[in-house]
Amino acid sequence: MNYARLAWRDLRRNPLRLSLTVVAGAVGVMAFIFLRTVVDIFYSGAAVAQVDRLIVRNKVALTQPLPLSYFPRIAALPGVTAITHQSWFGGTISESQRDFFASLAIDPASFLKVYSEYTLPPEQLSAFQADPCGALIGRKLAQRYGWKEGDRVTMKSQIYPGEWTFNIRGIYDGTRPGVDTTALVFGYRCLNERLPENWKDQVGLYSVRVDDPARSAQVAAAIDGMFANSPYATLTESERAFQLGFVAMSSAILTAVKLVSNVILAIILLVIGNTIAMGVRERTRDIATLRAMGFRPFHVVMFVLVESAAIGVAAGVLGMFAAPPLLKGFMRVVESQFGPMAETVTRPQTLALAALAAVGMSLLAAVGPAVRSLRLPVAEGLRKVT
């Protein structure tokens, strides 16, 4: 018995209802993918975090600085293979929020040794390291503003007074998808030389690379123990834990988004379930005829399940293909209002989960109509007038 052929024949009885159900299911799948991708964006920093990288910050708060003199002391510890520092600059090129992007003061000599996921031509790196006020910009940031090597960018900081002009010496790319290329980094020396004496020689945090990820906890304990009794005690944690600390600040929002994505699955269940239930009611006499001809209850159940699964597969496939371009279009609108954002990549796992959820909800929606069709007495079903 060809269940697929019978299911397709019955689905074509009402093409309009079938089309609307598939489109409604696809919209639900797209919404599910969209919301799950939003959650993934929040976790993107933790997802690309390196297991052999530690973050050293002030134990009191992230906003409190650390002395620059910690640099050689941390670098000399066993297990440390590279170290760099960075300080949040918080620069803007206008008063508009849409022109805000990440900007940091870094150590040009050591930054790429720790953050090897950023890459640029050697001649650009040399020019950046030779210019005290040189800057590197990410590829996505350069494309947004049309900046190129040799341009000068003037910014105002949210933290440091005055205007700051930087010379763009290079454009960096990411070595893998998901690497943020929306930031501007410049030499720490340019910042430090203009600061008041009580602000000089202080950095925001240190990034440390260890020779063996298994020894990360040991190295972290050694760093914190070294400065435990100093005025600037440290808190050292893995890069993943550091990134998840930012995610925790938005935990209520993420919980709400996840809840809504689950509600969407329930909506898909109701939409497809209603369509299948209507179809079964309309075919009550046909189902009773099959039973009278000797078809077993198993055959009737399979007939309803295949029909429902076909709707779920169609909705899932349509939603999977439509979601990524729509999401990219939405992110372009967001960027036009709030400035450049990190690259948005819809994970294959999210697409697969959405498709499986659509099929699963479809099969679940068919259970009720299938059971009701079995409970209907054959004689009563044959008497039903359609």
Query: How much is the pLDDT for 3?
Result: 58
Same-domain pairing of 145 and 276: no
Domain limit, last residue, from 177, 199, 232: 232
The number of domains in the chain is 2
- 81 with 222, same domain: the answer is yes
pLDDT score for 144: 86
Q: Are residues 201 and 255 in the same domain?
A: no
Domain range for 220 is 60-232
pLDDT at 227: 94
Residues of the chain with pLDDT under 50: 385
Structural domain contains residue 222: yes
pLDDT for res 287 = 64
Same domain for 118 and 191, yes or no, is yes
State how far the Cα of 83 lies from the Cα of 72, in Å rounded to an integer: 9
User: Has residue 286 been placed in a domain?
Assistant: yes
pLDDT of residue 249: 67
Residue 258 exposed, middle or buried by CB count within 10 Å (0-12, 13-18, 19+): middle
pLDDT of residue 184: 95
Q: Is 242 contained in some domain? A: no
Dihedral sign for Cα atoms in the order 152, 90, 205, 144: negative
Could you tell me which residues come within 8 angstroms of residue 218 by beta carbon, excluding any fewer than 6 positions away? 79
Residue 245 belongs to a domain:
no
Which two three-digit tokens encode residue 289?
């005829």
Contact of 23 with 15, CB cutoff 8 Å: no
Residue 52 is assigned to a structural domain of this protein: no
- End position of a domain, from candidates 183, 203, 232: 232
Residues 198 and 290 in one domain: no
Domain boundary, last residue among 232, 263, 279: 232
CA–CA distance, 13 with 17 (Å, rounded to integer): 9
Is the same domain home to 207 and 142? yes
